[in-house]
């Protein structure tokens, strides 16, 4: 397009914070967009040494400029592995190998190591979003041809943007994740009333077990969080990851948590489990959540004690109680965990979009994806049909319909 200049950058530090955040807010249509795509969050992932080439992530955001004004941006990363994505494409990598293709490095668009929906190209609302989406995908294709990159993957995509990318040749792959929605509960008892009698008893029993062990859970949000408690949260996070050995998924450095305490604290919510006769300053377990507008995301947790049901209290029940008090409408607890379903989290589709440079590979996947997507749709419906709600409760956001047909 006339007057536009495309630039590939070597990291978030090369892009202006104020313009980036203004563009993300405008493209989101909200004054408080997802914190996972704000400049400071993405920049601190790099500056802290968490998302860097040594860890298999090379930041290479694409931007369209008109003079010195940002018109569109896409956070992108060259990756040498598939860790930290939560959309598992290892079968794609295996197929590529059988066809004699090198799958890595690949190009990925997402908020790194966070399975949070909302990825898109952030485009000035005054511009033609469909046209600029197509232009940016052409630039990405050229970048991939120049550098011999086989696979492009946009993960946890904003459903409103997905049809634009699909119209420009991306292929849709459905996965699922569980989300809690608040239809306007007056309190935790209203939430409990949405369950059948058996599950209400189970939840009450699980909460009583934590209280009977002498523990209370205190929420701390924003400026009420002592910076030292964020450092302690990193210790819990590292401790929890270490329990899983090589599969521990310890992606974030201590420096990221220190930066979060300084620069991102307004988005943080900690749930600290501590003895009932003490305050939360010296917790025995904690979870870290992230807040943006009327949404809450559960991210990390850890515990210095082994106590049955403590995880459910610190990571689900206490955040839900706090979310109801704060008027939070949606709580995304993170990837995985079938145990979430018994606690009111509804399965929802998550969209990832893909494109491949090899025609034979793309043809094979285009034949496989419709059936795989239909199977995932059926699985989501089956999961939600068995949720332990009362017969009269109709949970919000159960629909599994997506916004565009399979290409």
Residue 407 is predicted with a pLDDT of 30
pLDDT of 199-234, one tens digit each?
999 999 999 999 999 999 999 999 999 999 999 999
**pLDDT tens digits, 257-301:** 999 999 999 999 999 999 999 989 999 999 999 999 999 999 999
Return the pLDDT at 392: 81
Q: Which fold has domain 5-176+348-385?
A: Aminopeptidase (3.40.630)
Instruction: Answer yes or no: CATH 3.40.47.10 is held by domain 183-328.
Output: no
pLDDT at 214: 97
pLDDT at 126: 95
Reduced 3-state DSSP string for 49-111: CCCCHHHCEEECCEEEEECCEEEEEECCEEECCCCCCCCCCHHHHHHHHHCCCCCCCEEEECC
Listed as own residue / partner, the contacts of 191-194 with beta carbons closer than 8 Å and 24 or more positions apart are: 191/320, 191/321, 191/324, 191/344, 193/390, 194/344, 194/389, 194/390, 194/393, 194/395
CATH 3.40.630.30 in the chain, residue ranges = 5-176+348-385, 183-328
Indicate the range of 21-25, 245-249, 353-357 predicted with least confidence: 245-249
Closest CA to 204 of 341, 319, 317, 344: 317
Decide if pLDDT at 396 tops 60: yes
């Amino acid at each position: 397009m006339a007057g536009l200049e495309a630039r590939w950058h070597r990291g978030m530090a090369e892009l202006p914070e104020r313009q980036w955040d203004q563009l993300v807010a405008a493209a989101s249509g909200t004054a408080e967009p997802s914190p996972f795509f704000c400049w400071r969050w993405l920049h601190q992932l790099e500056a802290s040494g968490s998302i860097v080439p040594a860890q298999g992530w090379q930041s290479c955001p694409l931007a369209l400029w008109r003079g010195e004004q940002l018109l569109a941006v896409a956070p992108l990363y060259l990756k040498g592995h598939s860790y930290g994505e939560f959309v598992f494409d290892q079968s794609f990598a295996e197929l590529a190998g059988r066809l004699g293709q090198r799958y890595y490095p690949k190009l990925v668009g997402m908020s790194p190591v966070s399975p949070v929906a909302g990825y898109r190209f952030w485009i000035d609302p005054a511009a033609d979003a469909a046209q600029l989406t197509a232009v940016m995908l052409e630039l990405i294709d050229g970048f991939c041809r120049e550098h011999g990159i086989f696979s492009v993957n946009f993960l946890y995509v904003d459903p409103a943007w997905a049809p634009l990318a699909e119209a420009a040749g991306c292929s849709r792959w459905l996965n699922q994740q569980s989300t809690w929605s608040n239809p306007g509960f007056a309190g935790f008892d209203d939430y409990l009333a949405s369950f059948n009698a058996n599950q209400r008893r189970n939840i009450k029993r699980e909460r009583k077990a934590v209280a009977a062990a002498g523990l209370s859970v205190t929420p701390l949000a924003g400026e009420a969080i002592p910076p030292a408690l964020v450092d302690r949260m990193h210790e819990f996070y590292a401790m929890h990851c270490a329990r899983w050995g090589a599969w521990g998924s310890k992606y974030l450095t201590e420096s990221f948590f220190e930066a979060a305490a300084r620069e991102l604290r307004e988005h943080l919510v900690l749930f600290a489990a501590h003895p009932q006769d003490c305050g939360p300053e010296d917790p025995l377990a904690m979870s870290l959540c992230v807040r943006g507008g009327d949404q809450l995301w559960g991210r990390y947790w850890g515990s210095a004690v082994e106590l049955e049901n403590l995880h459910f209290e610190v990571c689900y029940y206490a955040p839900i109680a706090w979310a109801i008090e704060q008027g939070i409408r949606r709580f995304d607890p993170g990837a995985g965990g079938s145990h979430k379903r018994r606690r009111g989290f509804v399965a929802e589709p998550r969209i990832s979009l893909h494109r491949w440079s090899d025609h034979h590979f793309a043809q094979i996947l285009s034949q496989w994806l419709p059936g795989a997507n239909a199977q995932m749709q059926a699985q989501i419906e089956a999961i939600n049909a068995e949720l332990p709600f009362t017969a009269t409760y109709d949970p919000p956001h159960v629909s599994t319909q997506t916004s565009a047909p399979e290409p």
